[in-house]
Each structure stands twice: as structure tokens, then as C-alpha cells.
């Protein structure tokens, strides 16, 4: 009898152990998928660039979302004051509502990228819906008169399987960033802290992400002149994403 009991105990112990291991595996898988889906530096298929490998003091300033009325004109004026060309990852829906603003950005000599049509998280989106999001926005960028290469930036940097697959098949390069001062809420509320963060962490080939198309991002908008001034003072030249990629040794 004693032996039978011990045997049952062992079985129970094994079941608990198996459940524990399965639980740990599921957690690891879920956390892994989450990390892969929001990685700035890794994508399962297709090319992703988060910075460029170069010895030249080049940096790309990129703006996400919009275009929205007023903020577009404001940022174009600031960029013009410093003779800086930037890259705008625009949302198709917003371009459709504000075609004049998209044209204004193009006519000012800046680069336009595709930031999807509806700005949803695209990790679990159906393949055909992804294709639609990108194609519609691509057409709107064409209609704005932009003729350069069109890069893609996933909303919230989220991508998993279908999106990388579509990008890879369509030979579209994803462009993320290596500097995002606004992501830290303590920095985002103070233009000077954002400027310091960028000045301290920039290196040749960096891609800076900023949001300036909304009222809530007033500090970001105010940070831009100082950011440009400080980096130009250090000998950095602002270029578009295309120009940065062309200067890169390996596009890593």
C-alpha cells in the first residue's frame, strides 16, 4: 500500500511539473511574440532599417501621423528656417481628408513615407486588409505628387507575420528609428529634456522619431528648432531617409 501511495504521489508530482513547464513555455511564447511584434530592430521577413551604418555625421528627422491642418504649416516653416529636409510618414486617411497638406509637404521638398491608411495595430490583420491599407496610402502619396521611393513605417511599430510577409513580397523596406525621446513620458513633457536626450544619444546614421501633428505634442513641436540647432552645431547634417540609406555602408 505504501508503495502504491508513493506511486500516486509521483504521478501527481509529474502532472504538476508538466503543467508548470507548459505554463512557463506559454508565457515565454507570448512574451516572445509581443517583443518580436514591437521590436524596432527585428522583423521576421523583409528588410527593416532602424539606423544606418555610416561614418558621416548624417541624421534623419522623421515625423509620424497626419497631415493635420496648422501643424503641417508650422513644422514646414521651422524646417525651412534651418534648410532641413525631413521625412513624413503620413496616414492615408488623413491625407485623403487633407490632400492640400500632403501636396504642401511634397512641394516643400520633403520625403513622404507610408504609415498605413487607418493607423491600426497590424499584428493580427488579415493579409488582404494589410495589402489594402498599404496600396490605398501608396496611391494617395502618388496623388500628392511624390515620386521618390516610398518606405513603410508600421503604426506603433507593430508587425508579426502577415505584414512582414506582404512587405517582403512587395519589396517595401520598413523604416523604424533608434531615437524616440517622446517615449519616456518624463522627457516628453519638457522640450529641453528631449533635446538633451537626442544630443546625448545621437550617432552618425541615427533616425529620430517625433510626433508634431497633434495639439498634445506641443512640446515636441517646440523641441524641433533647438534639436536641429544643437545637432547642426555638432556638425550633423539633416537628410531624408532615402539619402541616409544611400549613405549607409550596409543599411544595417
Binding site for Zn ion (CB under 5 A): 64-65, 155
The nearer residue to Zn ion, 49 or 58, going by C-beta atoms, is 49
The nearer residue to Zn ion, 184 or 192, going by C-beta atoms, is 184
Least separation in angstroms between residue 214's CB and Zn ion is 10
DSSP β-ladder status, 58-64 and 87-90 = parallel
The Cα 244–Cα 206 span in angstroms is 9
Least separation in angstroms between residue 207's CB and Zn ion is 15
Least separation in angstroms between residue 211's CB and Zn ion is 7
Residue, CB closest to Zn ion: 64
The nearer residue to Zn ion, 13 or 214, going by C-beta atoms, is 214
Least separation in angstroms between residue 155's CB and Zn ion is 5
Least separation in angstroms between residue 119's CB and Zn ion is 6
User: Is residue 60 a contact partner of residue 238, using CB atoms and an 8 Å limit?
Assistant: yes
Amino acid at each position: 500500500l505504501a508503495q502504491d501511495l508513493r506511486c500516486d504521489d509521483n504521478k501527481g508530482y509529474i502532472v504538476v511539473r508538466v503543467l508548470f513547464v507548459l505554463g512557463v513555455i506559454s508565457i515565454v511564447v507570448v512574451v516572445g511574440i509581443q517583443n518580436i511584434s514591437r521590436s524596432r530592430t527585428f522583423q521576421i521577413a523583409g528588410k527593416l532599417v532602424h539606423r544606418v551604418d555610416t561614418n558621416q555625421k548624417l541624421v534623419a528627422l522623421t515625423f509620424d501621423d497626419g497631415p493635420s491642418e496648422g501643424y503641417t504649416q508650422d513644422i514646414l516653416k521651422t524646417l525651412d528656417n534651418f534648410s532641413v529636409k525631413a521625412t513624413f510618414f503620413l496616414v492615408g486617411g488623413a491625407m485623403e481628408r487633407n490632400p492640400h497638406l500632403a501636396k504642401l509637404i511634397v512641394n516643400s521638398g520633403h520625403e513622404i513615407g507610408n504609415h498605413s491608411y487607418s493607423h491600426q495595430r497590424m499584428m493580427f490583420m488579415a493579409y488582404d486588409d494589410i495589402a489594402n491599407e498599404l496600396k490605398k496610402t501608396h496611391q494617395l502619396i502618388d496623388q500628392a505628387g511624390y515620386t521618390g521611393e516610398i518606405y513603410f513605417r508600421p503604426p506603433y511599430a507593430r508587425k508579426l507575420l502577415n505584414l512582414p510577409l506582404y512587405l517582403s513580397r512587395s519589396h517595401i523596406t520598413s523604416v523604424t528609428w533608434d531615437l524616440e525621446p517622446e517615449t519616456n513620458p518624463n522627457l516628453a513633457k519638457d522640450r529641453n529634456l528631449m533635446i538633451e536626450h537626442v544630443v546625448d544619444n545621437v550617432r552618425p546614421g541615427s533616425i529620430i522619431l517625433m510626433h508634431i501633428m497633434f495639439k498634445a505634442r506641443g512640446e515636441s513641436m517646440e523641441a524641433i528648432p533647438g534639436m536641429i540647432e544643437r545637432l547642426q552645431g555638432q556638425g550633423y547634417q539633416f537628410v531624408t531617409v532615402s539619402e541616409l540609406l544611400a549613405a549607409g555602408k550596409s543599411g544595417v
